[in-house]
Structure 1
Amino acid sequence: MSISEAEAVVMDVLWRQAPRSAEDILAELGPTQGWQEGTVKSLLNRLLKKKAVKAERDGRRYLYAPRLTREQYVSQESKGLIDRLFDGRIAPLVAHFSEQRKLSRRDVADLRKLLEELDDEQS
């Protein structure tokens, strides 16, 4: 399932608190994103078609909640990124980020710990 950047903004609202109405989402995102009601409803309809969210009738309105978890989304997006940009390999990804941004001592320690754990699992 491919989720656009704008759809991800709506999903983020729902991951933080659900269920929410389209009006609730508009109240939160309208001022910062410059979105109108039609934009929010269009994004929600796209997310419904993709089965990323579900809707439940509540009187005259619908309440939306995520079906796709944040963890599923992050996993899907990160796998796509690694596949597209680094031929499915992790080492070039880490090398790229270490060249672009200095890794902190904590980052290096965390990476070492992770590699040790992975090594122990494979032994």
Structure 2
Amino acid sequence: MAISEAEAVIMEVLWGRSPRSAEEILAEVGEQQNWQEGTVKSLLNRLLTKKAVKAERDGRRYLYSPKLTREQYISQESKGLLDRLFEGRVAPLVAHFSEQRKLSKRDIAELRTLLRKLDDDQS
């Protein structure tokens, strides 16, 4: 399931707290995104079609909740990035980021810890 950047903004709101109405979502992100109510409702309808969210009737309005977890989203997005740009390989991704941004000592220590753990798991 492909989630656009705009749809991801809606998902972040719902992952933060749900269920939420379209009006509540608009109140949280509408001004910073320069969105109107119609935009939020359109994005919610796209997410409903993709089955990323569910809607429950609450009187005259609907309350929306995520069906797709944040972890599932991160997993599919990172796999897509690896597949599209790095032929599914992690090492070229890390090399690219280390060339583009200086890795902090903390980043390097975390990578070393991760590599040791992966090495231990394979032993």
What TM bracket, shorter-length normalisation?
Answer: over 0.9
2:90 is aligned to 90
TM-score, length-scaled by structure 1: 0.99
TM-score when normalising by structure 2: 0.99
Aligned to 1:48: 48
| Other-structure match for 1:70 | 70
How far has the Cα of 1:70 moved from its partner? Answer: 0.5
For structure 1, the residue ranges without an aligned partner over 5 or more in a row are none
User: Secondary structure of 1:38's partner?
Assistant: helix
Q: Name the CA distance, whole Å, in 1 between partners of 2:30 and 2:120.
A: 49
Deviation of the 1:55 alpha carbon: 0.3
**Aligned residues: percent identity?**
80
Q: Does 1:38 align with 2:38?
A: yes
* CA distance in 2 between partners of 1:120 and 1:28 (Å): 45
| TM superposition outliers: structure 1 runs of 4+ over 3 Å | none
**Structure 1, residues 4-61: CA drift from partner, whole Å, max 9, x if none?**
0000000000000100000000111111111111100000000000000000000000
Aligned length: 123
What is the match of residue 79 of structure 1? 79
What SS does structure 2 have at the residue aligned with 1:56?
strand
C-alpha RMSD of the superposition: 0.5
Name 2:109's counterpart in structure 1: 109
